[in-house]
Chains A and B, each alone.
Chain A
Amino acid sequence: MITAGIDVGSKTIKVVILKDGRVTGRGMKAAGLEQAESATVCLRQAAAEAGIKESDIEQIVSTGAGRKAVSQANSQITEVGADAVGTVHVLPEARTVIDVGAEEGRGIKVSAEGKVVDFAVNEKCAAGAGSFAESMSRALEMTLEEFGQISLKSTRSIPMNAQCTVFAESEVVSLLHAETSKEDISRAVHDAIASRVASMVRRVGIEQKVALIGGVAYNPGFVNSLSRSLETEFVIPDDREYIGALGAALVAVERSKGNK
């Protein structure tokens, strides 16, 4: 059986194709303004990688904030539901899932079966998501990779007082004028993001093991800050940004069986 999961995030679209339970194709593309079109291109890309025609796909499930834009999808699932299924599939021992994307963070408590037990989503605060680190790295004229790395070399913690990204940027400029090192500024930014994410995750509670997924899990500065803030280590799967799409593709398998 061939199924696909399409995760339409605020910034990127990810597609996973499963053939008999195995990932055979993937695609990723910037969401842009035309989500439906980008999803179509991304699906085509994944189908080409899998060596199949789109018409070979039996069932497609979409997820993510823009999931309703995908006309090819047979059904939808929330990001929370898809993350839970995808994470427990690759990390069966995970009971807490933290997903931090460009614009949003999610904390999810999951059962051994991949069912959501408890969840919280930070719907509003960009300062609790990946785009904040990106805009701050731009303010420091660094790539996001450099910005994440130098945070690990910081020798002191500086609390950031700004409540939102707009004020934070001017606070970063003031810190630079005060000759604060870029390393310490980077850590201050990552600590600020981590503290928002941690406060959301504490709503659902921490149960071991804790999986960290989403594109922001590639940022070592953020991972370090969140680990300190929650006083826990994480298990971070390979291809962490595809977990939502994988979950949707797995749900497509179940729904396809249910239709037979």
Chain B
Amino acid sequence: MKANYGYTDGSGDYYITIETEGCLKCTEHDCVDACPQDVFAIIEDDYDDLVAAVVEEHRRSLAYVCSECKPASDPPPLPCVEACPQNAISHSW
């Protein structure tokens, strides 16, 4: 499943997409510890699979929460994207 967490507002689209098929093959769940803002948690989804999800408290404020990882000039690779062995995480902005 492709899970898009986030929002569209007047300034743009702010979504983190998780390809949860990748999570089914993942044992370490490194995204959880890699994120300095605790954006990710491992949940049991509606189909009883353990997958990564964006925690509820951050779903409405991703542009702000992720801003430190995304400086305007020379943005480094994102810690969450780097940590995921399945390339399951992507950002829309």
Contacts and interface: CB of A to CB of B under 8 A. Distances in A.
Contacts of A162: 10
A178 B45 CA distance: 51
Given A78-B46, A199-B13, 18 more contacts: A80-B46, A81-B46, A81-B47, A117-B2, A118-B1, A119-B3, A120-B4, A120-B15, A121-B5, A123-B7, A123-B60, A128-B8, A163-B11, A196-B9, A203-B15, A203-B17, A203-B92, A204-B2
Contacts, number: 63
Interface of A: 77-78, 80-81, 115-125, 127-128, 162-164, 196, 199-200, 203-204
B24 to A, nearest CB: 14
A127 B13 CA distance: 14
Interface string B10-23: 11010101000000
B9 A163 contact: yes
Counting chain B residues whose Cβ lies within 8 A of the other chain, the interface size class is 20 to 34
Nearest to B54: A123
B59 interface: yes
A121 B13 CA distance: 11
Q: Which 9 A-B pairs have the closest CB atoms?
A: A163-B10, A81-B46, A120-B4, A124-B7, A118-B2, A124-B60, A123-B59, A125-B9, A199-B8
Q: Which residue among B46, B59, B60, B92 has the maximum number of chain A CB atoms within 10 Å of its CB?
A: B46
Contacts of A116: 1, 46
Contacts of A164: 9-10
B89 to A, nearest CB: 15
Contacts of A121: 4-5, 59
A66 B7 CA distance: 20
A121 B10 CA distance: 16
A123 B1 contact: no
Contact of A119 (B2, B8, B59, B92): B2
